[in-house]
Chains A and B, each alone.
Chain A
Amino acid sequence: MEDDAPVIYGLEFQARALTPQTAETDAIRFLVGTQSLKYDNQIHIIDFDDENNIINKNVLLHQAGEIWHISASPSDKGVLATCYNKTPDSRVLACAAVWRMPEELESVGHESPDDSASTTQTLELLCQLGSAAPGNVACVTWEPMGDGKKVISLADNHILLWDLQESSNQAVLAGSASLEGKGQLRFTSGRWSPHHNCTQVATANDTTLRGWDTRSMSQIYCIENAHGQLVRDLDFNPNKQYYLASCGDDCKVKFWDTRNVTEPVRTLEEHSHWVWSVRYNHSHDQLVLTGSSDSRVILSNMVSISSEPFGHLVDDDDVSDQEEHHAEEKSKEPLQDNVIATYEEHEDSVYAVDWSSADPWLFASLSYDGRLVINRVPRALKYHILL
């Protein structure tokens, strides 16, 4: 079973922001935001044709500024939010806004003439997040299961919960909380938990992980010194409600049970530099993807703490066929937690990795030099998990 070679796509600019188009479940589509201080920034819509191994791209202009973070609405394919820097009169201002892309780009299979860069289309601004409230926005995260009406943005030491109204044309501040303490506290990253009826959000600031209740906007748990150094990213296990993964500058990836904040459940130390991004696979939560500034992407298999117990994989209906059942069980020796693969296609720091929302066996990684690499889970492992 040969694995398909990775597909590489190059952007002209530096880039840090990557997200799958969350609301799209049929086509493999990623959104990449560029960082350029001199030219107009762009959002590349990357369509991947799985059968032909071909990439189709569409470029949208994002003139507001360089993009640091991008996230797509979970319900509306055309809506996305970005965090971007503006540099008016030698000041850096990090803002966030919700945008709508032109309608013809929303759907699958739209072929845009590749060479007609001059006719690049522009995003339509729906609303600004936090024009009223000051602060540098680091991250925007959507309510995962909802109707795409709720958004949380992290600005300096504030968590702001927004209600998008009038078909997202207006953002109303629905709640906020802020972090008090000595020193300059700044959130670096945050994720909205898909569990507990979407009432929990986890944030990272410095070395600390915090959980928040979105109804009362109050802290529910706090993991002090989750990492030796800055925490860069975190992600919730999509199937186990108390489990989350975090990564940081100590080169480690840690898995936490939020009911026990003193000790991580597992620690991975495979990267040789800061780990910038960690993502659970959306359907098979033993697959964990990490990207690091050592220019590597590592796919790990965390079976022992996944929601998939050993041996359950055999359907109970098959029990009549004893022999087959037996043979199958034999081949299903408990898998060890291990590194499945290390991908070395990047030559610069990898700041973002993410799984496709349509194909659970496919993921993309983005390095600073603008290289986007699309890879697949090795087939052998895929069949092992599926069968």
Chain B
Amino acid sequence: MDSETDMVRQIRALDSDMQTLVYENYNKFISATDTIRKMKNDFRKMEDEMDRLATNMAVITDFSARISATLQDHHERITKLAGVHALLRKLQFLFELPSRLTKCVELGAYGQAVRYQGRARAVLQQYQHLPSFRAIQDDCQVITARLAQQLRQRFREGGSGAPEQAECVELLLALGEPAEELCEEFLVHARGRLEEELSALEKELGPSPPAPDVLEFTDRGGSGFVGGLCQVAAAYQELFEAQGPRGGEKLAAFAQELGGCYFELVERRLAQEQGGGDNSLLVRALDRFHRRLRAPGPLLAAAGLTESATEIVERVARERLGYHLQGLQTAFLGCLTDVRQALAAPRLAGKEGPSLAELLASVASSIQSHIKASLAAVHLFTAKEVSFSNKPYFRGEFCSQGVREGLIVGFIRSMCQTAQSFCDSAGEKGGATPPALLLLLSRLCLDYETATISYILTLTDEQFLVQDQSPVTPVSTLCAEARETARRLLTHYVKVQGLVISQMLRKSVETRDWLSTLEPRNVRAVMKRVVEDTTAIDVQVGLLYEEGVRKAQSSDSSKRTFSVYSSSRQQGRYAPSYTPSAPMDTNLLSNIQKLFSERIDVFSPVEFNKVSVLTGIIKISLKTLLECVRLRTFGRFGLQQVQVDCHFLQLYLWRFVADEELVHLLLDEVVASAALRCPDPVPMEPSVVEVICERG
């Protein structure tokens, strides 16, 4: 029940809800219908108004059409009147033209005149069949001709610089003058002016040097001539552009010709500079010169001025290199002269002149500083800020072939040659070359071989970053040349010194009467002299060359042990032939001796040390002694004298040589030969010989 009541209640509730909803919707429907009706009314009103508007517009159109129809007539008349007016003004201009032109010409307002003329020309041309116009045209032509003449006159007078001239040409062109002729005339004119510049430059060149310095010269040339040329070229190109390639060619030919003259002048000037020492000034001048000529480069590419300018610069650079090479050579010769003088200068007692080592050092340093100065001077050519330094020549060939090969290598070579020439020419009769100079040069060359060459070349390579791939002389070749020179010089030194001592020995043997000589009491003075000279040479060589190696056996021998040694030799296999115990069959003996000893090369090449040099000199001297002894005949006392002399030499000479055996051998042979050349060979007691020798 309950649920039924509940259900009924619910149904009622639902019914009432539904009724409310229906009412509400109905209301809304009613209001919508009202709205639609109102809209319908509004639209109808609007339609009416639109109809009225259309009618009004039609009326307006109608009116407008009527108005324009009325105005058309007037408009046409006005247009016609305006045309007539313009024509009349033109006619007036034409009629006035002659007088205006005349006035313009009189006033010198050529530009204005040309403009007028230009404007009128076409019209006149067109209407020339009408008599009146023809008259005007004729007048105009007369005036124009006069104008043209005046312009040309002005152009020719040429007093007023290039820009005004250019203006004249421009005007003339506008007047329809033939362009080619104008070209010619223009160029002839320009030439006149440029040639003036050139002759001014030439005057400065003068016959003698007091001309302004080269920098000023190139400056003046640059601003005067090159500037002028640039102007001319620029104006020409502007004016005669229409001329096409032919005009360009003409200009190029023109520039080339004048440029050639200019270069000639510059070269003459630079040639005057060639002897001068100031490189920086020259380089700066060249730089300006080159820089100025680069400006017209694009304009005058065809004329090849830049190339020629670069060529000139290159040529100058090359000549500079040659000049410096010569300078270096002169410096070297100067050094040599100084050394000669220093060597020849009489030594004051107690006051020693500069020693050889000092002289060597001074020569080496002075040459080195000269080389450095030259390098610095030519280095200016490759400086960054110089306009031509980036040209391929200066980057490549100049550095490698010019500086490295031409200057440095060339100098070292010439130095070697100069040094070698001392060997060749002075070979006869001892020559004029002091032996000390030979020695010094030899050491100098050797120093070059060991260090200086590589140092200088490294320096050069660093300063001139060589980019060129062309082959250069390797350091080793140069070193080998220097070494060869050093060796030849030293060998020659040995020969010369050996010759001096040889002559002494030879005279002493040849001039003496050995058959009737007295019993020896003393060592002959000449032998003492030989020892003294050898000692002096030893000292001299010692100043410049190292000691060198000796055979080990002699390292501990001294004068004392030597005499022991010589007596011990008597029992040895090589018993010296002058000892009484020795058999007189010296022939056999010396033959045996030779079997065991090596052949002595008398004038053999020497090594770079003192001992080798001294060995060479002593070998030469003793061999001479041997040969001279063989040419003489000795008496008993003559033989004994030789014995004494040889022993004396043995006492003092062993210490100078590499292998003292050599001295023994040669001296033994001398005595043996003397014994052979003696009909009555009675040798002296060795003890007596020793006593005499020790007594001095």
A residues apposed to B, CB below 8 Å: 14, 37-38, 85, 87, 90-92, 207, 225, 227-229, 250-251, 272-274, 293-295, 344, 347-349, 368-370
Contacts and interface: CB of A to CB of B under 8 A. Distances in A.
B599 interface: yes
B676 A273 contact: no
Contact of A38 (B428, B590, B591, B679): B679
B677 interface: yes
5 contacts: A228-B428, A250-B427, A272-B602, A273-B602, A293-B623
Nearest to B429: A228
Contact of B587 (A207, A274, A369): A369
A347 B597 CA distance: 11
A90 B587 contact: no
A213 to B, nearest CB: 28
B599 A295 contact: yes
A229 B428 CA distance: 8
Nearest to A368: B630
Given A348-B590, A369-B591, 8 more contacts: A37-B677, A37-B679, A85-B633, A87-B515, A87-B679, A90-B635, A207-B429, A294-B602
B157 to A, nearest CB: 74
B633 A37 contact: yes
Contacts of B679: 37-38, 87
Contact of B594 (A37, A38, A251, A347): A347
Nearest to B635: A90
A155 B23 CA distance: 185
B603 interface: yes
Nearest to A228: B428
B678 interface: yes
B385 interface: no
B428 A293 contact: no
8 smallest beta-carbon distances between A and B, as pairs? A37-B679, A228-B428, A90-B515, A272-B603, A273-B602, A347-B594, A90-B516, A92-B633
Contact of A293 (B627, B633, B635, B677): B627
Contacts, number: 58
Nearest to A229: B499
B546 to A, nearest CB: 26
A175 B53 CA distance: 171
Contacts of B365: none
Contacts of A368: 630
Contacts of A229: 499
A18 B516 CA distance: 30
B153 interface: no
Interface of B: 427-429, 499, 515-516, 587, 590-591, 594, 599, 601-604, 623, 627, 630, 633, 635, 676-679
Given A37-B677, A229-B499, A250-B427, A294 B601 contact: yes
Contacts of B428: 225, 227-228, 250
Nearest to A371: B591
A229 B505 CA distance: 14
B642 to A, nearest CB: 15
B633 A349 contact: no
A274 B602 CA distance: 10
B585 to A, nearest CB: 11
Contact of A273 (B427, B499, B515, B603): B603
Nearest to B591: A369
Contact of A228 (B427, B594, B676, B678): B427
Nearest to A370: B587
| Residue among B427, B516, B587 with the highest chain A CB neighbour number at 10 A | B587
A164 to B, nearest CB: 29
Contacts of A87: 515, 633, 679
Nearest to B595: A347
A38 B633 CA distance: 12
A150 B131 CA distance: 133
Nearest to A184: B511
B594 A272 contact: no
A17 to B, nearest CB: 13
A225 B429 contact: yes
B499 to A, nearest CB: 7
Chain B CB within 10 A, most for which of A90, A251, A293, A294: A90
B619 to A, nearest CB: 10
A306 to B, nearest CB: 26
A155 to B, nearest CB: 17
A56 B602 CA distance: 36
Contacts of A38: 679
A333 to B, nearest CB: 29
B627 A14 contact: no
A227 B429 CA distance: 9
Nearest to A293: B627
A225 B603 CA distance: 21
Contact of A251 (B429, B516, B591, B603): B603
A368 B429 CA distance: 28
Contacts of A228: 427-429, 499
B623 A273 contact: yes
B591 A347 contact: yes
A200 B120 CA distance: 113
Given A14-B676, A272-B604, A295-B599, A349 B627 contact: yes
A90 B676 CA distance: 16
A369 B601 CA distance: 18
Contacts of A369: 587, 590-591
B606 to A, nearest CB: 13
Nearest to B587: A369
A114 to B, nearest CB: 21
A10 to B, nearest CB: 10
A47 B68 CA distance: 160
Nearest to A351: B630
Nearest to A186: B510
Contacts of A14: 587, 676
Nearest to A66: B633
Contacts of A294: 601-603
Contacts of B587: 14, 369-370
A229 B677 CA distance: 24
Contacts of A347: 591, 594, 599
B495 to A, nearest CB: 9
Contacts of A251: 603
Contacts of B635: 90
A282 B630 CA distance: 30
Give the interface centre of B602, B604, B677 by most chain A CB atoms within 10 Å. Answer: B602
B630 A37 contact: no
